[in-house]
Amino acid sequence: MISQFFVLSQRGDNIVFRDYRGDVQKGSAEIFFRKVKFWKEDGQEEAPPVFNVDGVNYFHVKVVGLLFVATTRINISPSFALELLQRIGRVIKDYIGVLNEDSLRKNFVLVYELLDEVIDFGYVQTTSTELLKSYVFNEPIVQRAKRMPGIAVTKSVVATEPGGRNREEIFVDIIEKISITFSSSGYILTSEIDGTIQMKSYLTGNPEIRLALNDDLVIGRGQGPIYGYRSSSGSGSVILDDCNFHESVRLDSFDMDRTLTLIPPDGEFPVMNYRMTQEFRPPFRINALIEETGSLKAEVILKIRAEFASNVNANTVKVQMPLPKYTTRVNFDLEPGAVGQTTDFKDANKKLEWSLKKAIFLIAGGSEHTLRAKLTFSQESHGNITKESGPVSMTFTIPMHNVSRLQVKYLQIAKKSRATEPYRWVRYVTQANSYVAREIRLWLDECSYSVPPAVISNLHVKLGCVIPIDLVFCRVEFPKHWAVGRWRLWWNTAQLANY
């Protein structure tokens, strides 16, 4: 049961407000925004999606910079409320085409009509764009934006094109969000892919669609190999842990030829959601080193290396690293010839930020991008500086690239008339969900460690250098500024062999 629904801008302006039950005070939108903007509880920098203030439960999600908020005094399921907010945003986008503050203000009559049909006296009626067509009669004022193939963000499902005819086209997006945790030595501790196949149809007559996936697609971890990297273009089955399908999908021939048959409803909807935890080649490698250069100084080196093909572009790449609380100043040093890269030190939360607005990473030759940061402290460090720094996190978007190798082989449209051939757009997008290097490696001076004789041959091969051997025991001399964290696991022969 929902008491209120409202949409706020990033400035806190109330764009849309609907009170369904009248049991929550009128100033709830201002209370919510002040609480979110100045959130200081539980040591968190951002407000959680669900919290309670004076007996009122607030649920919110951020959609393209706008805050969609629901309130209630009843103890309802948070998952239900958050999913409802996402679906309301999706329905509004289906009708008005572009979801932003200006478009909401221009279409406020249509938006309020939609809200009255979606929720009645706090109870959800429907969030189906197709069903709402029978009850919503206002025409949208659609913003005309530049057409971008593969992304249906500028069209409404009910508005007509100039001349009274709609363009026959269908959009399919394969979106994968990656979660990876790296150890200090570069090993992958955890890895997971959350993927979805999104579809948005502008086809008249609701034709049947056949969407074919990989022939070697396997559902279930126990039906194929689990360990070992697979390149983006290499052989091997695509193994998904689990998946689920939209209610309109028919699976009659899915077991035989991995083909999905459906009659797409109006609006954007997920055809298939899937999850994969099998090891895969990460698109980026992150290395973070820190060295104390004095009693009040330290130096941080961040390196990111691309592991995908040279013809792929990575957009909106950003690296963040929390620094010790007593850091007062940071001086940055980018590599020579760096273009489109910006650095910043957020003194309020002691965080280093490195942005690459649009960079092309070349995998040939193991190319890397490096940032050096010289830290100045207000007090001498009394603890382990590596524990007071990090973890390093990374966000990015890689168009036309997916690491799971799940692909759409073909998209068939059963049209009775072939007068106009529909346009088909298929797009792949890889995004970072939680891309983290958990530990920071500490640089040391020259040192030496005793190594069991059983691993000396592997060391010789892995290091590619001459190793002095004693008749009693084997000893490896580390050159200055080699990271000790890289060698911690080398007492284990099996782990050394997999390095």
Per-residue pLDDT at 209 exceeds 60: yes
Q: Which residues on adjacent β-strands are paired with residue 464?
A: none
By mean pLDDT, which of 254-268, 291-305, 364-378, 392-406 is the weakest? 364-378
Residues 306 and 314: beta-carbon distance below 8 Å: yes
Instruction: Check pLDDT > 50 for residue 491.
Output: no
- Say which residues have a Cβ less than 8 Å from residue 360's Cβ, sequence separation at least 6: 310, 313, 314
What are the residue ranges spanned by the domains of the chain? 4-132, 169-281+401-436, 284-397, 445-499
Task: Give residue 417's pLDDT band: very low, low, confident or very high (50, 70, 90).
Answer: low
CB 413 within 8 A of CB 203: yes
DSSP bridge partners of 413: 209
Q: Is the peptide bond before 391 cis (omega within 30 degrees of 0)?
A: yes
Q: Who has greater pLDDT, 481 or 11? A: 11
**What is the C-alpha separation between 88 and 59, in angstroms, rounded?**
13
pLDDT tens track for 74-93 = 999 999 999 999 999 999 99
pTM of the model: 0.71
d(CA 203, CA 180): 38
Closest alpha carbon to 118 in 96, 147, 141, 85: 85
Confidence class of residue 362 from pLDDT cuts 50, 70 and 90? very low
3-state SS, residue 389 = coil
**pLDDT score recorded for residue 292:** 84
* Cα maximum dimension of the chain: 89
Question: For 162-186, what is the mean pLDDT?
Answer: 82
Rounded CA gap, 491 and 450, in Å?
Answer: 9
Percent of residues, the chain, with pLDDT higher than 70: 76
93-128 pLDDT, tens digit each: 989 988 899 999 999 999 999 999 999 999 999 999
358 pLDDT tier (thresholds 50, 70, 90) = low
Q: Which of 107-111, 221-225, 303-307, 390-394 is predicted least confidently? A: 221-225
Task: Examine domains 4-132 and 169-281+401-436 and report if their fold is the same.
Answer: no
pLDDT reported for residue 462: 42
Q: What are phi and psi of 459, to 5 degrees?
A: -60, -40
Q: What pLDDT does residue 85 have?
A: 96
Q: What is the C-alpha to C-alpha distance for residues 361 and 283, in angstroms, rounded to an integer?
A: 10
pLDDT at site 463 = 44
Confidence of residue 160 (pLDDT cuts 50, 70, 90): low
Residue listed under structure tokens 């080398």: 490
Mean predicted lDDT score pLDDT of the chain = 80
What is the reported pLDDT for 414?
85
pLDDT score for 79: 95
- pLDDT tens-place string over residues 178-200: 999 988 777 888 999 999 999 99
Task: Say what percent of the chain tops pLDDT 90.
Answer: 45
114-118, 159-163, 239-243, 290-294: which range is least confident on average? 159-163
* Residues 287 and 184: beta-carbon distance below 8 Å: no
* Residue 302, token pair as written in the block: 């961040």
Which residues, 6+ apart, have CB-to-CB distance to 296 below 8 Å?
376, 377, 378, 379, 380
Mean pLDDT of 350-357: 88
CA distance 358 to 362: 13
pLDDT at 457: 47
Architecture per CATH, domain 4-132, reads as 2-Layer Sandwich (3.30)
Specify whether the CB–CB gap between 386 and 288 falls below 8 A.
Answer: no
Q: What is the pLDDT of residue 185?
A: 72
Which H helix or E strand runs over 117? helix 108-118
Q: How confident is the model at residue 498 (pLDDT cuts 50, 70, 90)?
A: very low
Helix axes 78-96, 108-118, angle to 10 degrees: 140
Give the residue among 37, 84, 42 at the shortest CA–CA distance from 59. 84
List pLDDT tens digits, range 420-465.
788 899 999 999 999 998 766 655 443 344 444 444 444 444 444 4
Closest CA to 241 of 215, 266, 217, 210: 217
Q: 494: part of which helix (H) or strand (E)?
A: helix 493-497
Q: Is 241 exposed, middle or buried (0-12, 13-18, 19+ CB in 10 A)?
A: middle
**Alpha-carbon span 469 to 225, nearest angstrom:** 39
Phi and psi for 111 in degrees, rounded to 5? -65, -45
Per-residue confidence (pLDDT) for residue 338, from 0 to 100: 77
pLDDT, tens digit, for every residue of 7-59? Answer: 999 999 999 999 999 999 989 999 999 999 888 776 677 899 999 999 999 99
Distance, in Å, from the CA atom of 211 to the CA atom of 213, rounded to the nearest integer, reads 7
With the C-alpha atoms ordered 399, 400, 402, 406, is the resulting torsion angle positive or negative? positive
Tell me phi and psi for residue 357, to 5 degrees.
-60, -45
Residues 157 and 129: beta-carbon distance below 8 Å = yes
pLDDT value for 461: 43
CATH 3.20.20.100 fits 169-281+401-436, yes or no: no
Q: Among 178-192, 284-298, 409-423, whose mean pLDDT is lowest?
A: 409-423
Q: Is 290:386 a contact under the CB 8 Å cutoff? A: yes
Q: Identify residue 421 by its one-letter amino acid code.
A: E
Q: Residue 353 and residue 345: Cα distance in Å, rounded?
A: 6
203-216 average pLDDT score: 90
CATH code of domain 284-397 = 2.60.40.1170
